[in-house]
Every structure is written in C-alpha cells, then in structure tokens.
Amino acid sequence: MFQFLQRKQEPDKFGPDPDQLSIRQLLDDSSVPISIKAVLNLPEHARQRLLRVLLPPHLLARFQIKPMTWRGPDGDEHVRVVMRPESGLLRVEARHAGGAQDAFYSVELQDNALNGIDLNLLVLNDPMAPRFDTDFDEDGRQTQFGTLRRNLKEEERAMAAGLAPGQVRSGLQASRDVFQNLETFLAMMAHYSVFLEPLTYASAWVFERRGFAYVRGHKLMDDIQREFQDGGRLRKALDGSTPFRRPEQWRTVRGRAWAVHDGILAEMDQTWDGLRMVKQIGQHAGANTFPDAVY
C-alpha cells in the first residue's frame, strides 16, 4: 500500500460552471463540456435540434410519431419537454396519444455538482400493456416507485404479471436503442460519462448489461449474489413470510429485485440505497454481479 498517499480534498470539476460558459467558448473549442443548463438556455429551435437525438426515431415510429415534428398522424404534439434551467434539469416525455395517462418514454437528465450529467430517470412503458397502480397507494398517495410507501396489492399483481419493482407496465424492450442515442447526445455535449442511481436491484442489473460500472455499491451487489446462494442469509430469508419472499425467487433478477424491494437486505444489515453507477461513453465496463442470470 502507499503509506504517503495524499487524497485530494475536493474532486476536480469535469467542466466549467454553466454560468461561466459563453457562446464564444463553445464556438472556439468543441471539447468544452456543455451543461444541461446551457442547452436549456439555447434558442428554442437550436435546442430542439439537439434534443431530437434523445428520441430514437425507431421508437417514435412504433407510435407513428414523426421524429422531426414530434407530431402524430392526428397532428397533435406527442412529445413534451420539461425544463428547469435554474437546476439544470431536463425531462423529455413521449406519449402514444395526446391524453394518455403515462408516457411510453421518459428520460430526465440533470447537471450534477461536478458539472457532469446525471440520468435521473429512464422509463420505457408499453402503453398497450395492462397497468398496475404500484405508483399510488390505496389512499391515492404517490408511492414514488414504491420507495416512500407501497401498494402491496398492486405490487403482488405486478410481480405475478412479470414486472419488476418500480414498473407500472411491462417494458418496451428498447433500452439498447435509447442508450445508444443517449450516448450520442452526451458525446455531442462533450461529456465522457453519465451517472445514475439505480432505483432497484433489477435496474442495476440492466444498467450493468448496458455497460455501467459502479461508483458505489459494487461490493453490495457481490454480497447480494453471495447471500442468495445455498446457505446464504438472503436465501434463508426467502421463507414465504411475504408474497415477495418465495423460496424460488433467488433464481431470477426480478425475483431477487422484489425481495430486495421488500426489505430483505435487512438480513445483511443493509438497505438498498447509496448505489451509484457510471457509464463511460463508448465503453462497456463488463461488470457482472449475477453471472448466468435469468431475468
């Protein structure tokens, strides 16, 4: 070990602060990272040119939405852009029909404290699939994807239908396309990485498959894998005591995810929080904490 190691007190910022970026800088040097805040401050049409990259044309075409105008055959707008320039937050949502309750695609990006970019949210829902109201409890209050409170009845139905925690409908099987476009967008913005905090065990596993490594929590994922093996603490806790802890659930990503969502990590004196992942643009990290996994 290095006895005389000197850790930096403060990590370096990845790029200039958004308020210090001028158009002149951007024109001069294409390697200067552009913040979300800077994108949001662009004139509307320039901004829309950039944001088109966040919406894979194949995905829009599945719902007959034109990639240039974001309008459907009825002429209605199907894409909504939510902007909060003061906090550097951008959300793009696409709906298959104007009045649809849920977006079939939603992506939220935000500047982080180091002037990098966080992927706060990525949702891909099949709007034609049955809906499970796991996002509201029985009193109609939002569950925040089951993190604040839970709707156990709906969660049990969702699990039986093959959904993972946090999902209200089955997915669109389009995350590969979405990530390719997201990486293209970030490369255009001269960013080398994107960061996120996985909501569930299942989403962490999916992000591993998409090439993410761990800033925090790789060891926790390894510990979970070990403790779900024969004789492990999590395996023993799959005792049927709740509908989300059935003995066979260790076998699959979704089964484990529901058990973790149900608080099974308490058996290891752990909770599902604090994980953070990173994707280097154009690179696949190759992390694999559940070898030979069945989803």
Partner 1 sequence: MINSYRMTRAAELGSLAHFRDFVEEVCNAQGIDEDTAYDLKLAVDEACTNVVQHGYAGMNPGSIMLDMTVSEGEVEVRLTDFGHPFEPSSAPKPDITLPLEERSMGGFGLFFIYETMDAVDYVSGEEGNTLILRKRFEE
Residues in the site for partner 1, rule: CB under 8 A? Answer: 1-8, 11-12, 14-15, 33, 114, 116, 191-193, 213-222, 274-276, 278, 280, 285-289
Helix (H) or strand (E) holding 110: strand 105-111
| Of 116 and 146, CB closest to partner 1 | 116
| Of 4 and 30, CB closest to partner 1 | 4
DSSP state, 136?
B
Which distant-in-sequence residues (6+ apart) come within 8 Å of 258 by Cβ? 155, 159, 164, 165, 244, 249
140: phi > 0 → left, psi -120 to 50 → alpha, else beta; which?
A: left
- Rounded to whole angstroms, how far apart are CA atoms 219 and 216? 8
| Of 37 and 78, CB closest to partner 1 | 37
Residue 100's identity, in one-letter code, is A
Q: Min. distance of Cβ 157 from partner 1 in angstroms?
A: 33
Q: Min. distance of Cβ 213 from partner 1 in angstroms?
A: 4
How many residues are given for the chain? 295
What the block records as the tokens of 227 is 């403790």
Residue 79's identity, in one-letter code, is V
- Rounded to whole angstroms, how far apart are CA atoms 249 and 258? 8
Burial call 257-288: b when 16+ CB within 10 Å, e when fewer: bbbbbbebbebbeeebeebebbbebeeebebe
| Of 140 and 286, CB closest to partner 1 | 286
Strand partners, 107: 92, 122
| Of 163 and 206, CB closest to partner 1 | 206
| Of 10 and 86, CB closest to partner 1 | 10
Sheet containing 117-124, strands listed edge to edge, beginning at the edge strand earlier in sequence: 79-84, 89-94, 105-111, 117-124, 193-196, 276-280, 213-216
Residue 70's identity, in one-letter code, is W
| Of 191 and 256, CB closest to partner 1 | 191
